[in-house]
Amino acid sequence: MDSSAFGTRLRALIGLRRRRTAESLEHPPNKERNIMSTATMESNRATTESQQACPEAGAFCWNELVTSDTESAGSFYGQLFGWKAEAFPGGMPYTLFKADGRHVAGLMARPDPQIAPQWLAYVHVEDVDASTRRARELGAKICLEPKDIPTVGRVAVIQDPQGAPLGIFQPAQK
């Protein structure tokens, strides 16, 4: 997956996963809201939500399924867990799974046929760069070097010495 596509998807899913409910968010007055673009509102909301609801460092914070058949996978997980699938707003080919009104996972097509279908988990870290350096020292392969995701934070993807991939995430500063 190229880093631009990865960044776009990750920014979207991390921000939207943190959404609790529309009522719990602070919105600008109606007059201002009417002149703000939807993209600006979503970006502001995603930043606020990722900062408010991100678990402590060391905890898993997001899961994403990368697969060859998103339609079948969506149907399978919907039937298995009762998850509701919703298209990600903004026209990008990404699905968000919801349970009890909150986002619980993401779903996307494999960006490269060489990537096996898999779940990718993300762990919250205090410093993505330091965690990436330490992972490398411990024998990990770096699949995606640390990268800024505007308004969301900083991410990297590593592969541990046994071959298991893992995303790491540092939320944006308030």
Pairing of strands 102-109, 60-67: parallel
Q: Which amino acid is at 100?
A: D
pLDDT in tens, 15-53: 444 433 333 333 333 333 333 333 333 443 443 344 446
What predicted TM-score, i.e. pTM, was given to this entire model? 0.65
Overall domain count for the chain: 1
Phi, psi of 126 (to 5 degrees): -80, -30
**Beta pairing partners, 99:** 102
Residue range(s) defining the domain that contains residue 18: 3-171
Q: Is the pLDDT higher at 94 or at 154? A: 154
> Tell me, what CATH number does 121's domain have?
3.10.180.10
pLDDT in tens, 46-101: 433 444 467 899 999 989 999 999 999 999 999 999 999 998 776 668 898 999 99
